[in-house]
């Protein structure tokens, strides 16, 4: 397989390279693409193989089989259709195509079977949405979702290199060039992710609402969110209140989650065992814990979900889509 990795020098692109190697995806040629300033730089793969970063034009001229894009929305809007036109499948990490009617938005644990031969652009959801639906979906199948209230605690790596640079520049008392956030993030929490919309929610909050509903095919899903950026380097955390159609049994919830794909149950609070972003870093799984009854509503539970936003929130999910395409001969 000849695979294009667009955004190969970025936080997500670098993680994709690691996941491809860990998952032992066989690669005849890797075609890394980045912005003009990176063209010609070398990307190492499989210890001893070296590939030169090139432009999109050159990448297309090499007749790749597939591409994973992580180079921002504008790049995806411009270049994904050029690949699709040539029948090259694109798995896109940006927000460009996620809510497009004709484009599938895929989390393999939930809806990969919707994919078919004619899907040339496949959208990878927003990081916070992916870890949420991996947990909601198996519970929905048994108890039926009624309403979800979520607050997120999102790390700075969710904003790419700029987010990490801002946190460390502030910590080192250096001038922050080109900040990601409107306020200091170190020693702070900022209840603001993406632009504010007319309804007073932010773009990131509405991604949770719209993308969750699309992935699980529940058009009237009732979900309300608050997105908060916190001074954590990597790993997003979510406090989630889920109301079901019928009263759930807590032990049954735990056993469903324990046996569901992609999830690790970490729920032994008396021994101080619960998910934390520090422990989730570099791991593919979604971690869930602090599962308890909502004492104010017999049909509802509270739980705490953590995943590495660069892994399951981006790179791992994209590589799992690629693996699904390979396994089902859709590539």
Ligand X SMILES: NC(=O)c1ccc[n+]([C@@H]2O[C@H](COP(=O)([O-])OP(=O)(O)OC[C@H]3O[C@@H](n4cnc5c(N)ncnc54)[C@H](OP(=O)(O)O)[C@@H]3O)[C@@H](O)[C@H]2O)c1
- Contacts with ligand X, residue ranges (CB under 6 A): 6-13, 33-35, 37-38, 70-73, 75, 93-94, 127, 157-158, 160-161, 309-310, 313-314
Spatial separation of the C-alpha atoms in residues 47 and 222, rounded to whole Å: 47
Which of 43, 37, 36 has the alpha carbon at shortest distance from 4? 43
What SS3 class is residue 206?
helix
State how beta strands 2-6 and 66-69 pair. parallel
- Measured from the CB atom, the residue of 55 and 328 that comes closer to ligand X is 55
Tell me whether residue 33 or residue 303 sits nearer to ligand X (CB atom): 33
Smallest gap from Cβ 231 to ligand X, in A, equals 15
Give me the least distance between CB of 100 and ligand X, in Å please.
15
Give whichever of 11 and 263 is closer to ligand X, judged by the CB atom.
Answer: 11
The three-class DSSP label of residue 169 is helix
Query: Shortest gap between Cβ of 86 and ligand X (angstroms)?
Result: 18
Clarify whether 127 is annotated catalytic: yes
In the complex, minimum distance from the CB of residue 82 to ligand X, in angstroms, rounded to a whole number: 13
Cα–Cα nearest to 70, from 89, 53, 93: 93
Which of 14/241 has CB closer to ligand X? 14
CB of 96 to ligand X, least distance (A): 8
DSSP-derived secondary structure for 258-324:
HTSTTEEE--BGGGTB---HHHHTT--SEEEEEEEE-TT-TTEEEEEEEE-TTIIIIIHHHHHHHHH
Smallest separation (angstroms) from ligand X to the CB of 38 = 3
Q: Which residue is nearest to ligand X (CB)?
A: 10
141 alpha carbon, distance to own chain's centre: 22
236 is catalytic: yes
Phi-psi region of 202 (alpha: psi -120 to 50; beta: other; left: phi over 0): beta
Phi, psi of 298 (to 5 degrees): -70, -15
User: Whole-number minimum distance, CB 73 to ligand X, in Å?
Assistant: 6
Q: Which residues contact 270 (CB under 8 A, 6 or more apart)?
A: none
Closer CB to ligand X, 33 or 240, in the complex: 33
CA 216 – CA 164 distance, rounded (Å): 32
- Cβ(206)–Cβ(243) under 8 Å? no
In this structure, what token pair is assigned to residue 117? 């031969």
Q: Which residue, 203 or 294, has its beta carbon nearer to ligand X?
A: 203
Q: Whose Cβ is closer to ligand X: residue 22's or residue 273's? A: 22
Strands (E) across the chain are located at 2-6, 29-33, 42-45, 49-52, 66-69, 89-92, 104-105, 121-123, 145-154, 222-229, 236-244, 263-265, 286-293, 300-307
Query: What positions carry a catalytic annotation?
Result: 127, 236
């Amino acid at each position: 397989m000849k695979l294009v990795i667009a955004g190969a020098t970025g936080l997500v692109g670098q993680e994709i390279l690691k996941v491809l190697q860990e998952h032992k995806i066989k690669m005849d040629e890797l075609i890394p693409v980045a912005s003009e300033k990176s063209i010609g730089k070398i990307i190492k793969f499989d210890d001893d193989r070296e590939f030169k970063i090139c432009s999109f034009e050159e990448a297309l001229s090499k007749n790749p089989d597939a591409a994973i894009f992580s180079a921002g929305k504008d790049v995806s809007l411009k270049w994904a259709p050029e690949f699709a036109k040539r029948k090259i499948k694109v798995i896109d990490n940006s927000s460009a195509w996620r809510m497009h009617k004709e484009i599938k938005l895929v989390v393999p644990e939930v809806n990969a079977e919707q994919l078919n031969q004619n899907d040339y652009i496949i959208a990878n959801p927003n990081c916070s949405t992916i870890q949420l639906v991996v947990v909601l979906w198996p519970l929905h199948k048994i108890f039926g979702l009624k309403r979800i209230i979520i607050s997120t605690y999102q790390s700075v790596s969710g904003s790419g290199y700029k987010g990490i640079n801002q946190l460390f520049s502030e910590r080192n008392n250096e001038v922050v060039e080109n900040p990601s956030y409107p306020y200091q993030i170190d020693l702070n929490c900022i209840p603001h992710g993406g632009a504010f919309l007319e309804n007073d929610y932010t773009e990131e909050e509405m991604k949770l609402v719209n993308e969750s509903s699309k992935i699980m095919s529940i058009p009237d899903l009732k979900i309300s969110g608050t997105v908060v950026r916190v001074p954590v380097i990597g790993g997003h955390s979510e406090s989630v209140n889920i109301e079901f159609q019928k009263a759930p049994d807590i032990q049954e919830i735990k056993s469903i989650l324990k046996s569901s794909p992609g999830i690790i149950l970490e729920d032994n609070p008396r021994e101080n065992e619960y998910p934390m972003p520090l422990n989730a870093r570099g791991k593919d799984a979604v971690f869930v814990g602090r599962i308890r009854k909502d004492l104010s509503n017999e049909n509802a539970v509270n739980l705490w979900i953590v995943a590495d936003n660069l892994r399951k929130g981006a790179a791992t999910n994209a590589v799992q889509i690629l693996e699904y395409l390979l396994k089902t001969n859709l590539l």
